[in-house]
Amino acid sequence: MKKIALPLLLLGMACTAQVKKGKLVWEENFNGKTLDEKVWNFELGNGCPNICGWGNSERETYTKNNHRVENGHLVITAKKEGELYTSTRITTAGKKEFKYGYMEARAKIATGQGIWPAFWMLGGNIGKVSWPAAGEIDILEYVGKDPGMVYTTLHTPSNHAGDALSKKTPFDKIEEGFHTYAINWTKDAITFYVDDKEVYTYAPEIKNAGTWPFNQPFYFIVNMAVGGNFGGPEVDDSIFPQEYVVDYIRVYSN
């Protein structure tokens, strides 16, 4: 989500595939009353001065106040407060990072023009090598201006931003209720799933620093952006507040 591809491919409906999950390695069920800050970090503000607009010309400011933990759910709420759009963005950087496995979240997306909820991952070495050298795995991206579609994307040094490796898949009633969004990540390939249906696989024959930065630990990011190069640019102010609800995040061996 750091910089999203603009020309994305629509390759048809998802296909049914047998999802294999190994041993449960880690889970976050949001059972407490607050986020566990031994696991989660808050990223605050509008990205300035280092990366204003979070690299995408986004319009929101992230706070600690736009979320709550209740009934076993994380609820992130995007609001319009005066001239300001506010939301929450959390990460597991430096606290929970994983190399390979089956990663899955169950979530209910927010909707409306300008909304951009996401569940994604960045390489843990991003502070040393920057983006896109660290790699990026976008397990779920949904933009309200494009209803009925789920975006799954990979960014590598060889293919990033407008040339990212991306799939846009139609799902009937994706805006209704909870759905699962997952990847099966091995040393050879990354396969994306929505509701246990395979939607896209990336398995380059030649794996090097340019094509495969996915040989190191990555951390999770959960956020809801507003506007930006991909989510907007137009934002319908009448839709606010909007809630993005995450039931759980789980990591299995593979």
Q: Active-site positions?
A: 136, 141
Distances (CA, A) of 125 to 76, 158, 218: 27, 17, 8
Is-contact 137 120, C-beta < 8 A? yes
Structure-token pair, residue 221: 């990011």
Is-contact 56 47, C-beta < 8 A? no
| DSSP-assigned beta bridge partners for residue 94 | none
Distances (CA, A) of 2 to 57, 122, 244, 251: 10, 9, 19, 22
User: In whole angstroms, what is the distance from residue 73 CA to residue 248 CA?
Assistant: 7
Instruction: Report the relative pairing of strands 101-108 and 73-81 from DSSP bridges.
Output: unpaired
* CA proximity to 13, closest of 178, 180, 183, 171: 171
E strand or H helix at 133, and its extent? none
Is-contact 181 194, C-beta < 8 A? yes
